[in-house]
Structure 1
């Protein structure tokens, strides 16, 4: 699967992950797409390194979608954790 397919898949996975992680606040469509693309690429890279999968089966395979969604969800969760720690510091300083 090529890089363009991972980008398209990442945009969709990022939008789904945003709805799974945070239902009340959103980063906006551009940030969500960037996090989704990075998460999908990270998930695909980790799948090749950890599970020795040389190439995922294709755009319409469920394992590809699960990999992209898992990567996007993990990365989005990490972003929320970092933002939560920053937000907590700001409110303490006031």
Structure 2
């Protein structure tokens, strides 16, 4: 899958991660897209380690599920890191 495909997957996966974990997060659409793209990479890594599978093509359900799982993980980490910076 090309860069444009990962950007589209990242945008949608990041938006779905924010829908799964609603809250007041700093950053707009760019942060959401970056969280989704990084989440896709993390999801592929987690899928390879735990489930012995990798992300597939753009229209593969496994790609979307792993990307969303990774985006939720990255969003949780982002909230912890940003929450500590704003609390101090």
Q: TM-score w.r.t. structure 2 length?
A: 0.80
Tell me how far apart the structure 2 counterparts of residues 11 and 39 of structure 1 sit (CA, whole Å): 10
1:65 paired with 2:69, answer no
Is this contact kept in 2: 1:58–1:64, CA < 8 A? yes
Q: TM-score w.r.t. structure 1 length?
A: 0.76
5-14 or 64-73, larger mean C-alpha shift: 5-14
Report the equivalent of 1:45. 45
Displaced runs of 4 or more, over 4 A? none
Is this contact kept in 1: 2:55–2:66, CA < 8 A? no
Aligned residues: 87
Q: How do 1:71-82 residues align onto structure 2 when only pairs under 5 Å count?
A: 71-82=70-81
Any stretches of 5+ residues in structure 1 without a counterpart?
A: 90-94
Any stretches of 5+ residues in structure 2 without a counterpart?
A: none
1:31 paired with 2:34, answer no
Is this contact kept in 2: 1:11–1:37, CA < 8 A? yes
Tell me how far apart the structure 2 counterparts of residues 24 and 84 of structure 1 sit (CA, whole Å): 11
